[in-house]
Chains A and B, each alone.
Chain A
Amino acid sequence: MKYFRHVLVILFLLNFNFANAQDNDLESKITKNLRCLICQGQSVYDSDSDFAVSLKLLVSKKLEEGKNEKQIYDYLKDKYGEWILYDPKFDKSTYFLWLLPILLFITGGAIILRLFIIKKK
C-alpha cells in the first residue's frame, strides 16, 4: 500500500510537469524562429538582451490574447520586416536560396547516375 501511494504521488507530479511543459512549447517554438535583431546569429529564444526579453514577453502576451502562431509572425513581420523570421518565404528575392540546394542535389544525383550507367555499359 505504501509503495502504491508513492507511485501515485510520482505519477501525479509527472503529469503536472507534462501539462506545464506543453503550455510553454508553442511560445518557445515561436521565439526559436525569431531572429534577435540586435544580437547577430542568435534567436530571440537564446538571447537575454533587453530586446529579446521584451519580445518574449510580447509573444506570451499575444498568445494569451488568443493569437495563433501565424498571426504573431505576421504582426512582427509588419513591424520589423521579413528578416525577423528564420524561415524565409519563397519569393522573388529568396528563390535562389531555396532552389540552389535542390539544384545541387539533382546535379549530384545526375553525375552519380551517369557514372553508374556508364560503368554498367
Chain B
Amino acid sequence: MKIRIPFLFLTIIFLVIFFVFYKGLQNSNIYTPNNNIEKDLPNFQTKMFNEDREIFLRDIFKKDKFYLINIWASWCIPCREEHSFLISLSNLKNIEIVGLNYKDNSKNAKNFLKELDNPYQIILSDKDGTNSIELGAYGVPESFLIYNQKIIKKIIGPLNNKSFIEIKKIIK
C-alpha cells in the first residue's frame, strides 16, 4: 500500500501527458490566421503613390460599393502571378481596386505597372510598411475586400482561381 499511491499518481500523470502530446502530434503547428472576421476599416493618413499628397484611408471608400485593397510590390514574385486576376477584377463594374505599394522603389514599381498593366484606380504608398500593419496584414501579397468601411474578407497570399471566384460571388 505504501508504494501504490505515488505509483498510481505517476501513472495517471504520465497518461495525461502522453494523451496531450499524442493529440498535439496530429495538430498542425503552422499558424493559420482567421481571415473571415468582419472588422472596421482603420483610418490612417497615407501617401499617394503618384502625387505628393497625403490622404485619409477612409476617405477613399464610398458606401454601397465593393473595394479590393491589394498590397503589392515590384520585388514580390507572387504578385506577378496574381496580377492577371487583378486585371480581370478591374474589368468588372461593381468593384474598384486600390493598390498599396509595399516597401518599394517607385521607379521599379512604375516599371512593373508598365510591363503588366495597371489594374488600380488609386495607388497608395507604404514606404516603411507601417500602413500594412495597421490594416492587419502579414506581408505581400495580401488583399482585403471592403464594403461599407468594413473588411469583409482577407486573402493572404496571391489571389488564385478559387479566391477570384469567391470574390466574384460576393460582389454579385
**Dominant secondary structure of chain A at its interface with chain B:** helix
CA distance A120 to B90 in the complex (A): 83
Confirm or deny: A68 has a beta carbon within 8 angstroms of a beta carbon on chain B. Answer: no
CA distance A58 to B137 in the complex (A): 13
Docked-complex contact B130 and A54, CB < 8 angstroms: yes
- Please, which residues of chain B bring their CB within 8 A of the CB of A61? 130
Nearest CB in chain B to that of A49: its residue: B139
Confirm or deny: A12 has a beta carbon within 8 angstroms of a beta carbon on chain B. Answer: no
CA distance A83 to B139 in the complex (A): 17
| Residues of chain A from 93 to 121 with CB closer than 8 A to chain B in the complex | 104, 107, 110-111, 114-115, 118
1/0 contact string of B131-170 vs chain A (CB within 8 Å): 0111010110000000000000000000000000000000
CA distance A43 to B52 in the complex (A): 36
- Please, which residues of chain B bring their CB within 8 A of the CB of A11? none
Q: Contacts A111-B9, A114-B6: A53 and B129 contacting too (C-beta < 8 A)?
A: yes
What is the minimal beta-carbon distance from B77 to any residue of chain A, in angstroms? 14
| Residues of chain A from 55 to 84 with CB closer than 8 A to chain B in the complex | 55, 57-58, 61, 79-81, 83
Docked-complex contact A37 and B33, CB < 8 angstroms: yes
A111's partner among B6, B33, B103, B132 (CB-CB below 8 A) is B6
Q: 18 A-B residue contacts at CB 8 Å?
A: A38-B138, A40-B30, A50-B103, A50-B139, A51-B129, A51-B138, A54-B103, A54-B129, A57-B130, A58-B130, A79-B133, A81-B34, A83-B31, A107-B13, A110-B9, A111-B10, A114-B5, A118-B2
Residues of B whose CB lies within 8 Å of any CB of A are 2, 5-6, 9-10, 13, 29-31, 33-34, 103, 128-130, 132-134, 136, 138-139
